A and B are shown apart, each in its own frame.
Chain A
């Protein structure tokens, strides 16, 4: 059974069809890339899957259960976490707090336990912090030590991207949705992050869906590539297949002159 199964997903904004019937399935342990030209509906796809927008039609099954129509927080709780294309951290919280707050849905202490500082609450609090440190150390020395207590907005751009991945990891998802993780990074950082995405699967055991424009990254990480254009999936398969697909090339480069259809 596929971990994520999407059938005929449709979403329109006003008159614009962002998603016009997308089907996609993601198996456990896969890394799937979603590519497509600008405005193809990739980010809308993420937004609908994670519950920020309601789908108009179609169904989204996660581990066999329909999650369409759930609140975003419930979907996160079910095990899907994401990053944002235009890095959206909590800018004034510290690095550590950003990762701690993301464990909200996996922890339980309520108002009374917090006020009474019960042993359970203090233990849980210690665990949250411990786990946050652990997750941050996944990124090497970049986000640890004195960085723990720095506000997120003081980080460099690349570190913000890393922190966003860390924050998504902290929700303990099964499926990670990464929205253009290497956008705006230099070649060295890109190479490093490419390795990191593989490590997310290989070492951490996450299933990963990546939206990416950088074809080098797509080639290096993907088990499978799905191509969206105008809200429909126009191709799917291994990178080599897809990258030579005429329809895909046309979507990216426009219709060659004279090639009427």
Chain B
């Protein structure tokens, strides 16, 4: 028995069996969803793999404590700046009191007594880590004569009115801490790197480290719930005008994005269902098939999601767009199948025969339609992005299931007794158009061809340029409080932009030290040459065990008892209060202990208090694994061009030091060539696939040429529209081109396959053009509904695809059809329009 007859037999005579099968599939899919549902909220998984910069960003996000940082900003009116200064310590104190807050940085640590004390606590290991020449020079300061000479000089300078000696003695009574901290201090200027007050003083920034247990979406949501509660009452005590309390950071973004998923799912799905249903009902005026189509599509979504979960074990947030896209695409099959079924019923066939006829005449077209679309989406795997790979596979699976279910399950919902056909104005309109286009193809072509060629010219013209947005902003949610906070901070502090990260991992402490010792001079040269604005590295804190051992040995040769006595004597002679110099005596004791090789040298990580503001600086450099570190390079301008990126790629790395360059701006710039390749190469491959498939399918060079030209002009019209409407391309919506090629080609396939086998041209072709129009409109609605998504990658993809499909549909109706007619002799066309059987005016 032929396949179409088997299917017709099953869905009309063995309905119970089919229903039971559907129920089992449905239950299994729901079971998988309940048991396995796991969402991947990591936005970085949308970026392609295999890029060092992307991997570096992932490592930085995962392994460094900044992943738990939240940045607060208070923004006041210009006339409240003094009040803000007064309020800031109160706000910082309240932050410290929050149970979710582990540490707060509200000011520059060196300007506070605690900050100075904390620095003194880590001075010893840094002193012993000085390079030999600097260590010898500093050690000489502990000679009794030098101690006396220095204190005498500083006393005289105090008497002369200099403020400097008091500052110096407060931090460094012996004169050895300054040189010890010099390598650290040279790149430890928090205020210069990350100013905490805006130049106009209307904004104060507070850096916090939270104690959230995990970095997953639910932990972030829980934290941000507490933070929002704090934000609401944090104004207490503020007496000025309007005060904005802003917060940003990874957790803020993740919480927002994960919560906006729910919004995106509901809005895009509901939008898609409503629009698609509206189009279907407008076309066929039937409720039951509409319901059947909805349930069949829901089944496709369920089964594809379950299959996706079984394959990938977790699904990226971008796959939330999957259902809307699948509905937009899968409905095409329902429209076509129901259109053909209805036509057969109207031609007098009974229910089983009409089912058989629909499957028989459209099975091949749906197979190829599903194939091209699935291949188009499977091509997303070539992007190398985990998120988009999942999306591609899910939709390819979904389309395959849609093809199967629309040719089987869908028929369960069609009434065996069809109501009497009414007047179908849409079919009449389409039929009249088809008839006119077939008889006078040149007239239509004179309108459509110049328009499409004009748009093609616009697409190729350098003006207006197509916008290509590779900024970090293009990846942010559209309505995001965290994004607004970050934007406000960046605007108020124009000198502040994201640095490039140089990530170095070593096997041991000595290797880490050696690596950074090689990097520092190289970057210093680049700074001196004006190639970079500045840099900071963990070199000073990457201690060398070899150097520590050598310097401790040297320390044994110093008479620290005499140094102590000299300090006592100098204090008495110069009239200094002993109390101020307590930390000097303490350091002498520590040096004495360090000189003994049997004594364990204190680890600066243990001696530096956990509440110290210096941790904000240190945590920038060191991951949880202290052998994984980063240096930061501030470029002369924000990284945006390939030239900048190439220069950094070429100049920053040092021979023999494995270094990964990363950072958001750097990574996005790094991905531009990838994105161009996606746009040109992969879309080209897709076009080649389409062209080959069409050649095999039509076996007619004229039809092949017409459809290839249609596709080319549709894509050009899409580019021209994006240019004219100023819709930017971003790193991800370039994928839309291959999708348009994959889906848009189907419209031509449906029309031209029927054209080739039509018995009466206007009746048969109109019978497929009407469903194609409806299918195109539903697909446009499906993709267009993605525009409502908060996730800009989904929204951008939705807009681009909707535009592309619009032009594919328009080109098929107004160019392919008349062009196919024009390719035939006039006599053939006139003959083909003669009725062979009496047909009703509806489908």
Whether A and B are associated in the same complex: the answer reads no
- Which of B's residues lie within 8 Å of A, judged by CB? none
